[in-house]
Amino acid sequence: MRRVLLTIALLALSAGALAQLGTDWSGRLETRLGLESTGDLTAAGAEARLALDGEVGSEFFPTAAFRVELRAKTDAATDTADVRLDEAWARVFLNDGVIEATAGNQRHFWGSTDGVNPVDRLNPRDMSVPPDAEKLAVPMLHLRAWLEHDVNLEAVLIPAFVPSIAPGEAWRDEPTFASPPGTTVTEIRPLRDERPEASLQNLQGGVRVQWRPAGFDLAASYLYVYRDVPTRSAEAVPTGAPGEVAVQPVARYDRLHVVGLDGSVALGDVVLRGEIAYLFTDDPSGTDPAVGEPSFHVVIGAETPVPDGPRLVTQVILDGETKPDAPTTETGELDVAVRAMLVATYAANARTDLEVAWVHDLDGSGLVRPGASYTFADGVTGTLAGLVAYGPDASRYGDWRERTGAEVSLRVDF
Amino acid sequence: MTRIDRIDCRPAPRSVPRRTAALLLAGVLLLSAVPATAQTYETAEELIDAVAARPEPETLQATMEMVLTNPSGRTLTREMRTWARGDDMRVMKFTAPADIAGSGFLMIDDGAAQETLVYLPALDRVRRVAGGQRGESFFGSDFSYEDVEGIDPGDYAHELVEARDGPLYVVEATPKPDAESSYDRLVLEVPQDTLIPQRVTYYVDDEAIKVLTVSDVQEVGGYLLGLARRMETLDDGSFTMIRQRDLTLDEDLPDEVFSERFLRR
């Protein structure tokens, strides 16, 4: 991978091309403070980003481009600090830009709907403080071809698996473990993380073809990836002493096939968007308890403006999963969860934007996220955001009730 | 048909139309002195046809500075590049400030349908703008998407309200029933010498809500252009000023410029 990146970079930065090289520095400084209703801090830190973008070639379609972004972050509330290379890629434009080939750390977005994109499993996410889930840039080779008749084709190859960053302890549900009859648990061992190694047989990839004529767009996609969030299980391991077992938690990353369809259409004042994804593993019959079950996900949404009011996005989200084999359930029985989402955004004036997002699950739980941002000056933005969770225990969002709180941030883009 | 009042510059004729010239010449021959207020256009249709028939560059490229001023006088500044071919294909891409740089806007009108797409780099998505969203603010400014797209005279019925000294024509434009407009009517003030609407008042529910003022009229590349446009929202006094510079006219623009590919680039 590194060799491919280097080759493309060298091609892009050949002596002749350097004469036409244009570069642009940009960055961001941000500081955040988050407080839960319990009085605990969820965030008290700062982040700095510095990016260098460059292009070689003509004004309209360059022959090559690159981007390198460094991010440094520290947070006293979670006692974390890290410096990492975020996006770092080189791109060549072939055949007058009809084909774009990009290698390096990248993030891409597939799908059509807002916030919830079941067809998109390209990048892992940073889920350390849910419900935020920013995509992480990871090494990949990305090809895009702009074909005739408003068709564009994407192909992605991901050479090394990178899992999502798991939710912090406060947000995590630990797997329950029932010890075998007649045994006593004497030890809980450290998690055994069985993440796939970088190898030819563990390659991930996918293709997407999109047709975007005037008025609507439609895309079909297929991904062969690893589940970025592990399927957790716990095994009982005899310790050698009679009647005693150790618990061995295991995190496995299932091979996943994702077949997707998404699109949008403008009908008068309304834009309709939708996505359908079917996910199945290499254990489609669901006989291996350590492998996740096949599932389907449907998102249907509509976006419309209210005259002199906010822009509304409404979505219905269906998540269906076949239940695993169990004495009390029939094989293949479907467990369907239904959520509704409403997002209202309103630009009160050139400086003030208001937004509220509400997700309600039919299990009676939900999340409300109000937010307001104000632009103090060019590139200087302050944001106040809240999170309210409700619902019974053991419901989708009910266990997050204590996480109800607010966060204030100040951001400078330059 | 030529759009008028869009935020990029509209050309005026390098010379008056032939029919108008003939009339003026006849007037000069018949009268010892031509009144300064000689009125050439008797009906709104004549005037709008003349406005729409102004010669214009095949293509336009320009840098635009957009200054948003709130009611207390504080400003925000955005900068963008724009590329246009005729009236029906236009791309705008923000270059500053950093938090919106890379955002872009593409409008294509193929005669049968108009499509507006917006690219937001933070989401890496190209989003479709539906008809009802055309009345929304264009990136926080006092211009709406509809204002940016321009006014197709064919979508409006016109009535000449009065001809003032100058002469300056006052024309009322009412959207036709099938026109997708967020306004109930517009009142345009068009000076005869430039045929560039210098002031447009936008009405909703019989109330004036915004006023567009065109200024800094200059000849560039043989075309008479209004290089500054100020849109004021009347209820709070906020306004947005757009100034154009670094204009390149009549230079070939490839078809691919007016595409999602270029919007994302």
pLDDT band at B245 (very low <50, low <70, confident <90, very high): very high
d(CA A219, CA A142): 17
pLDDT band at A43 (very low <50, low <70, confident <90, very high): confident
ipTM of predicted assembly, 2 dp = 0.80
d(CA A46, CA A411): 10
pLDDT band at A57 (very low <50, low <70, confident <90, very high): confident
Of B131, B238, B260, the CB nearest to A212: B260
Interchain proximity B110–A212, CB inside 8 Å: no
- A83 near B CB under 8 A: no
d(CA A147, CA A211): 10
Q: Which residues of B touch A264 (CB under 8 A)?
A: 128
Interchain proximity A350–B254, CB inside 8 Å: no
Of A109, A214, A307, the CB nearest to B123: A109
Mean pLDDT of A193-205: 92
Report whether B220 contacts B228 (CB < 8 A): no
- A271 near B CB under 8 A: yes
B244 has a pLDDT exceeding 60:
yes
- A345 near B CB under 8 A: no
Residue A167: DSSP 8-state = P
| Closest listed residue to residue A154, CA positions, set B260, B130, B117 | B260
B35 has a pLDDT exceeding 50:
no
Domains of chain B: 18-264 (2.50.20.10)
d(CA B221, nearest CA chain A) in Å: 22
Mean pLDDT of A44-68: 91
d(CA B76, nearest CA chain A) in Å: 6
pLDDT band at B201 (very low <50, low <70, confident <90, very high): very high
B25 has a pLDDT exceeding 50:
no
pLDDT band at B165 (very low <50, low <70, confident <90, very high): confident
Report the range out of A158-172, A228-242, A255-269 with the highest average pLDDT: A255-269
Mean pLDDT lowest among A27-36, A127-136, B126-135, B212-221: B126-135
d(CA A295, CA A284): 10
Q: Is the dihedral of CA B2, B3, B8, B9 positive or negative?
A: positive
Interchain proximity A26–B101, CB inside 8 Å: yes
Q: Which residues of B touch A268 (CB under 8 A)?
A: 130-132
What mean pLDDT, rounded, does chain B reach?
83
DSSP A118-135: TT--SS-EE-SSTT--EE
Using the structure block, give the residue that is written with the tokens 């979508």. B155
pLDDT over 70 for what percent of chain A? Answer: 89
What are the angstrom distances between the C-alpha of A340 and each of A119, A129, A337, A371, B9?
18, 22, 10, 19, 46
Q: Which residues pair with A367 in a beta bridge?
A: A359, A389
Q: Is the dihedral of CA A397, A164, B265, B228 positive or negative?
A: positive
Report whether A343 contacts A313 (CB < 8 A): yes
A19 has a pLDDT exceeding 80:
no
**Strand A99-106 relative to strand A352-361: parallel, antiparallel, unpaired?**
unpaired
Instruction: Write out the two tokens for A163.
Output: 């899992």
pLDDT value of position B8: 44
pLDDT value of position B18: 40
Mean pLDDT of B51-79: 93
pLDDT value of position A33: 94
Of B124, B253, B262, the CB nearest to A109: B124
Report the range out of A13-17, A233-237, A263-267, B241-245 with the highest average pLDDT: B241-245
A355 has a pLDDT exceeding 50:
yes
A315 has a pLDDT exceeding 90:
yes
> What are the b/e assignments for B91-116, b being 16+ CB within 10 Å?
bbbbbebbbbbbbbbbbbbeeeebbb
Q: Which residues of B touch A107 (CB under 8 A)?
A: 124
Mean pLDDT of A344-363: 92
Can you say how many angstroms the Cα of residue A404 is from the centroid of all Cα atoms in its chain? 22
pLDDT in tens, B101-136: 999 989 888 777 778 889 998 888 888 877 667 788
d(CA A273, CA A53): 32
- Contacts of residue B185, Cβ cutoff 8 Å, sequence gap at least 6: B172, B173, B174, B175, B203
| Closest listed residue to residue A350, CA positions, set B138, B64, B119 | B138
A283 has a pLDDT exceeding 80:
no
Using the structure block, give the residue that is written with the tokens 């965030």. A43
Mean pLDDT of A238-265: 90
pLDDT value of position B84: 94
Interchain proximity A109–B140, CB inside 8 Å: no
d(CA A8, CA A18): 14
pLDDT value of position A234: 83
Cβ-defined contacts of A36-42 (< 8 Å, 24+): A36/A402, A36/A403, A36/A404, A36/A405, A37/A402, A37/A404, A37/A405, A38/A402, A40/A77, A41/A76, A41/A77, A42/A77, A42/A78, A42/A129, A42/A403, A42/A405, A42/A407
d(CA A364, CA B152): 51
pLDDT over 90 for what percent of chain A? Answer: 57
Mean pLDDT lowest among A296-300, A406-410, B98-102, B134-138: B134-138
- Contacts of residue A413, Cβ cutoff 8 Å, sequence gap at least 6: A26, A27, A28, A379, A380, A381, B97, B98, B99
Report pTM.
0.82
Q: Around Cβ B224, how many Cβ atoms within 10 Å?
A: 20
Burial of residue A299, with CB atoms counted within 10 A of its CB: 0-12 exposed, 13-18 middle, 19 or more buried? buried
Q: Around Cβ A22, how many Cβ atoms within 10 Å?
A: 12
Mean pLDDT of B159-179: 90
**Chain B interface residues (partner A, CB cutoff 8 A):** 68, 70, 76-78, 96-99, 101, 108, 110, 113, 115, 123-125, 127-133, 135-137, 140-142, 182, 236, 238, 240, 253-254, 256-257, 259-262, 265
Mean pLDDT of B233-253: 94
Question: What φ, ψ does residue A381 adopt, rounded to 5°?
Answer: -130, 135
What mean pLDDT, rounded, does chain A reach?
87
